[in-house]
Amino acid sequence: MNIILVNGMMKPGYNDFDGISLTAALKDGFNIFGSLTAGLKMNTIEARKASDMCNRRGEVLIYKTTNPAIFFVPKTRGQKEETFLIKDLLDACSHCKVKRLMFTHYIYLMKQFPEKEVASIFSYIKENENIDLQTMIWEIDSNFYDSFLELYHQYFPKND
């Protein structure tokens, strides 16, 4: 699988995707969930209900299977569930025959770089070669882009 790290949100040339994953973490005021649901012309009430259901179940919810397929991923609670969730997300992508996933989970980070969580995801991807997804486009908060890039190269060294 090819991983593309994008510094910021929706750069030209990176909008060719057939699936998008959203963190089902709702907060008052502006947040990426609200911005993306509006941009994808999703019904806000239905999206909030789906988000709540996703968080209650603690597993990925396939919200829409048509292009682009939309996946809600429950918020993590720092309890090492990211390996389960990335496997669940990749299985959902396979089920919906998604080949290019826009992965929006790190576009706005409030506090710090979630190094252990991201390392766990990179490790899972690296160790599992039978992933159907061809490309995963990670939108990265520009304040933490360099940290993501450095960690990415620890798992996926440059081919010089």
Q: How many domains does the chain have?
A: 1
Q: Is residue 41 part of a domain?
A: yes
pLDDT for 11: 58
Rounded Cα–Cα distance for residues 141 and 106 (Å): 6
Range of the domain at 82: 2-155
pLDDT for 83: 87
Give the list of residues 6+ apart from residue 89 with CB closer than 8 angstroms, or none: 21, 60, 71, 73, 101
Q: Is residue 160 part of a domain?
A: no
Q: Which DSSP state fits 18?
A: S
pLDDT for 160: 43
Please name the helix (run of DSSP H) or strand (run of DSSP E) that holds residue 136, with its range, or none.
strand 135-140
CATH number of the domain encompassing residue 79? 3.40.220.10
Q: Is residue 111 part of a domain?
A: yes
User: Could you tell me the mean pLDDT of each successive run of 10 residues in the chain, 160 residues long?
Assistant: 83 73 67 68 81 91 85 77 90 95 86 89 92 93 93 84
